[in-house]
Structure 1
Amino acid sequence: MHTRRTSRRPRPRLRPRLRLRTRPRPHGGAAAAFLVAAALLVAACSSGNPPASTGEAPAEAEAALAALPRSTPAALNPYYGQKLAWRDCGVPDFECATLKAPLDYAKPGAGDIKLAVARKKATDKGKPLGSLLVNPGGPGGSAVAYLQQYAGLGYPEAVRARYDMVAMDPRGVARSEPVECLDGRQMDTYTQTDVTPDDQKETNALVGEYKKFAEGCGAHSAGLLRHVSTIEAARDMDVLRSALGDPKLNYVGASYGTFLGATYAGLFPERVGRLVLDGAMDPSLTARRLNLDQTAGFETAFQAFAKDCVRQSDCPLGGKGTTPAQVGDHLKAFFRKVDAHPVPTGDSDGRKLGEALATTGVIAAMYDEGAWPQLRDSLNSAMNENDGAGLLSLSDSYYERSGSGHYTNLMSANAAVNCLDLPAAFTGPDQVKKSLPAFEKASPVFGEGLAWASLNCTYWPVRPSGAPHRIEARGAAPIVVVGTTRDPATPYGWAKSLARQLSSGRLLTYVGDGHTAYGRGSSCIDSTINAYLLQGTPPTQGKRCS
């Protein structure tokens, strides 16, 4: 069940058996070959029957958003005044600490939440620039792991020399009081559930899994589910900024991390330092529109893959002269085949490669063109050798499932944040069915499955607290918004829209494939962002790199 998300992850986290054949990059690599998903595909409703929804924001959510304070209330002073007690992380050159924040910012005295923080100190003590907070996206991605396994070691040396590199797992994520929903066996069932139902029985099974997932979250994380919104996570970032002793926040956010960073800028524009929002999201769109746009984004990426595939001698979906549409038809035929007759994988838990896992594996590889050779290998094995291990490995990496059957809390946190941030895309299966033509037009290959995946928050146990809204951040310093023209997960149009919304937004365009741009091999992109981070020089408006 390929619930979509957006995120950027370090390449070292790829499991060895994935064997992605990618060229090394000196200080980057989005490593998004296993990163798919629907960061802003949110929704929600109370337990029981969901309220009718058009996908628009409820009036009470808009009112709550407008009422947010733009200064620090006195009741929060104990949090803003705390001193971090740094300790050894068990990882060379990194130190860790725990930040306290109020569970409920409306009731600061009602209890705390403990948030995991990690830091790698600047190496040039003579020219410090303060802290640089990083976030890889998700929602649900561990920023601490991202820092320790990639950013703290792989960001440009000049950036690491001048900044203390800092990360904090957002509330409900990884080391910060994680949301939990299902155990490993239950997650195996969930991820293998068919998301292109052929009849009412399969539709009922899909809805049943969505309900079981939501009920599990409600049972295991009831007190936390109402307090993992992006707005609350952005407020946590301001508490961290104060605890670090920084007058302003310097930040690089990728994918969903751009929504988190833009939300911070909207709340605290006067505290914005140097913000880079790479692979930008558009906060003004409804969940359904976001889902539809992202579906079109994956089709754009697939078209690029298809054109490249038919030029390769090992393409299992067609040869020279085969059109992208024909490549898509061949892939859909393969999906139908494994739906009817799943392929063996050699998995120790007996899992076979059905349509759901196969589709997730293919979508995962759309995030980074460096994964395309591995995808061709995996498709060849599944289609011609009756071996689904390669695609299963891609799918497992996407879901962060270990060989022992353990899942991180990525998917649980992803749903929890999404389902709190926006009203639901759909109220039930009938609405999905009515929307299928639009989704299938957006992507003939993936549209049907991604439409049904948009139902994932419909049965959520708590109501949404967020709403679609524009973010202007008037008075903020220049904010660099980066968009990639063929980005599958955060379509380029979102970056253009966010840059227009932000009063100080500067759009930087990467003409190319893959998810996000910084550290992916473009010297133009990297040097432009480095100049901004190190000298404070933002790019000219509309600058394009390839």
Structure 2
Amino acid sequence: MEAKGWIGAALAVALLATGCAESDRAQESGTGDDPLAAFHQQGIDWEDCGDGFWCGTFEVPVDYDDPAGERLEIAVKRLPASGDDRIGSLVLNPGGPGGSGLGYVTSASAAVSKQLRERFDIVGFDPRGVGQSTPVYCLSSAELDEYFGFQFDSVDGDGDPTEVTDAGVEEIADLNRDFVEACRERSGDLIHHVGTADVARDMDVLRELLGDDGLTYLGKSYGTSIGAHYAELFPGNVRALVLDGAVPPHGGQLETSVEQAGGFTTALRAFVEDCLSRPDCPLADGADTTVDDGVARIGELLERAAREPLANRIDHREANRPRVELGVLAALYSESFWPRVRTGLDEAINGGDGTELLRLGDVLYKRGDRETYQNSMAALVAVNCADRPAPRDIGVYEEAARTAAQASPLFGPSLAWGALPCAYWPEEAREDAVAEIDGDGAPPILVVGTTRDSATPYEWSEELAEALDSGVLLTWEGDGHTAYRSGDACVDRAVDSYLLGTEVPEDGTVCEPRDDVSDTRSSGQAR
């Protein structure tokens, strides 16, 4: 393990040790009947951090079952309301797990409307284990490069994840055992306390410190899980929750990964259909090219990259099958990436150059220009494995990969194998799952689903809206991952109205493109 790993682990221990000393002072100050009183009374020392933003930190218990024990520090950032008629705070989370709330609130002008910025302080925080909030660490950046570039030893030599040799199975098992062991070595007991239920508890401490009687929250993708857990744990503290691009409230990690592959397949077909409507589509092979033909050409590209890596003009990495696949996958998160992936596919198919697809993959897992990663991958694994059960038998993953290939041949097998770290996750680090998430007692909660969402299939939004006692479903008939502020006026109006006035649209409302406008993403109508 390189020196950086040792320093990161030492820093985490130092922060926890500081927490011990602080907790002793909190005990001496007295907490009354509320075991969290010391946390609710601490205050945030806000400092000007430029461009109109204010930054600070607050402390939370490492273990809410032992609030007098060690503490974690949570980083928070706030953009004060620009108008005089302030309602309160709007807390944002972009998803992940591993997404930075600090980074998301920095882009507040794009993330939320002007009307919301006038009436609310826009607030983001890095969840425990993420970014600037006592982060978890696992592999070094060099080791992550190897991890993301791992190519299956397949029977036919094409890297097919459904035809892995016995030696290949053992190799991927060792790779993921090493990943988990690195998490234990570099992060220690912190990986026992990064589950979503604890993040929701942290968010209630933040709500109290912000001075809001009820939480107003916008969570996207995995951020919907934080919001759903909050509604379950603190239904009486909810003012308004928007859960956009929902993850399912229950289900195992392997099952969820396989279901997610279906969403990416739907998005891929939408991308290919759009590409084939354009004169310069690299997937076209004559006027009669079908969507199935276009998808097959991408599959052929992956097999080609497995046998002989494509050119890479930016660094030492091989543009092999997994890295090319990751680039295509990343591009499906948003329509805004579609021009780049068309360029990348053109360069790869017609010129043997995988550079642009490599760059797209780097965007997804936040690999910087200096060959460094943020800790999003470590946080993603730690949270997913804490939140959701996973089988321990590697044979179950082999079978899941073969099953996933039937419905999602391009992405299903890889995503099934992607759940494998959870097979080796320490049992004591698995969070006790909330038995049921129904938010009983909470006011109406708005769940927003996109019909061709890539990363969170539309069915998950239907499932979450149904599970929540007060869930209301708003549907966007469109593409891309999540709907609010993605270009549809109908969705934006409904979300803004709810956050401002707590009035939800009618359950089952559908926003769809209008036939009488050329830009279907900028004008929508409800039905």
TM-score (normalizing by structure 1)? 0.84
**Largest Rg, 1 or 2:** 2
1:98 pairs with one of 50, 57, 63? 57
1:469 is displaced (CA, Å) by 4.4
Distance in 1 (CA, whole Å) between partners of 2:111 and 2:67 is 38
1:435 pairs with one of 400, 412, 416? 400
**Residue 142 (structure 1) aligned with residue 109 (structure 2):** no
Letter of the aligned partner of 2:74 in structure 1?
A: L
- Give 1:102-113 correspondences, 5 Å limit: 102-113=61-72
Letter of the aligned partner of 2:327 in structure 1?
A: G
> Aligned with 1:176: secondary structure?
coil
Cα gap change, 1:99/1:152 in structure 2, threshold over 3 Å: closer, same or farther? farther
Q: Is the 8 A contact 1:122 1:162 kept in 2?
A: yes
Q: Is the 8 A contact 2:92 2:101 kept in 1?
A: yes
1:381 corresponding residue in structure 2: 347
Distance in 1 (CA, whole Å) between partners of 2:45 and 2:478 is 43
Structure 1 segments, 4+ long, off by >6 Å, are none
1:454 corresponding residue in structure 2: 419
Distance in 2 (CA, whole Å) between partners of 1:403 and 1:205 is 29
1:427 is displaced (CA, Å) by 2.0
1:186 corresponding residue in structure 2: 143
Q: Alpha-carbon deviations, 1:421-480, whole Å to 9, x = none?
A: 1111x3243112222332012202212212211213211234412437431112211100
Distance in 2 (CA, whole Å) between partners of 1:293 and 1:365 is 19
**Residue 118 (structure 1) aligned with residue 84 (structure 2):** no
Distance in 2 (CA, whole Å) between partners of 1:472 and 1:204 is 41
1:380 is displaced (CA, Å) by 1.0
Letter of the aligned partner of 2:67 in structure 1?
A: P
Q: Is the 8 A contact 1:104 1:110 kept in 2?
A: yes
Distance in 2 (CA, whole Å) between partners of 1:341 and 1:117 is 46
Q: Alpha-carbon deviations, 1:337-361, whole Å to 9, x = none?
A: 101100121223x112000100000
**Residue 230 (structure 1) aligned with residue 188 (structure 2):** no
Distance in 2 (CA, whole Å) between partners of 1:154 and 1:451 is 32
1:42 corresponding residue in structure 2: none
Q: Where do 5+ consecutive residues of structure 1 fail to align?
A: 1-71
Cα gap change, 1:81/1:306 in structure 2, threshold over 3 Å: closer, same or farther? same
1:370 is displaced (CA, Å) by 2.1
Q: Where do 5+ consecutive residues of structure 2 fail to align?
A: 1-31, 153-160, 513-527
Identity %: 40
Letter of the aligned partner of 1:411 in structure 2?
A: M
> Aligned with 2:239: secondary structure?
strand
TM-score (normalizing by structure 2)? 0.87
Letter of the aligned partner of 1:431 in structure 2?
A: V
Q: Is the 8 A contact 1:226 1:462 kept in 2?
A: no
- Give 1:110-509 correspondences, 5 Å limit: 110-125=69-84, 127-148=85-106, 150-151=107-108, 154-195=111-152, 196=161, 198-319=164-285, 320-348=287-315, 350-424=316-390, 426-463=391-428, 464-467=430-433, 469-509=435-475
Q: Is the 8 A contact 2:394 2:423 kept in 1?
A: no
Q: Is the 8 A contact 2:306 2:321 kept in 1?
A: yes
Deviates more, 1:429-438 or 1:350-359: 429-438
Q: Is the 8 A contact 1:284 1:468 kept in 2?
A: no
Q: Alpha-carbon deviations, 1:164-209, whole Å to 9, x = none?
A: 0011110000000000111111111111002526322332222222
1:73 is displaced (CA, Å) by 6.5
Q: Is the 8 A contact 1:428 1:455 kept in 2?
A: no
Distance in 2 (CA, whole Å) between partners of 1:324 and 1:209 is 36
1:286 is displaced (CA, Å) by 2.4
> Aligned with 1:545: secondary structure?
strand
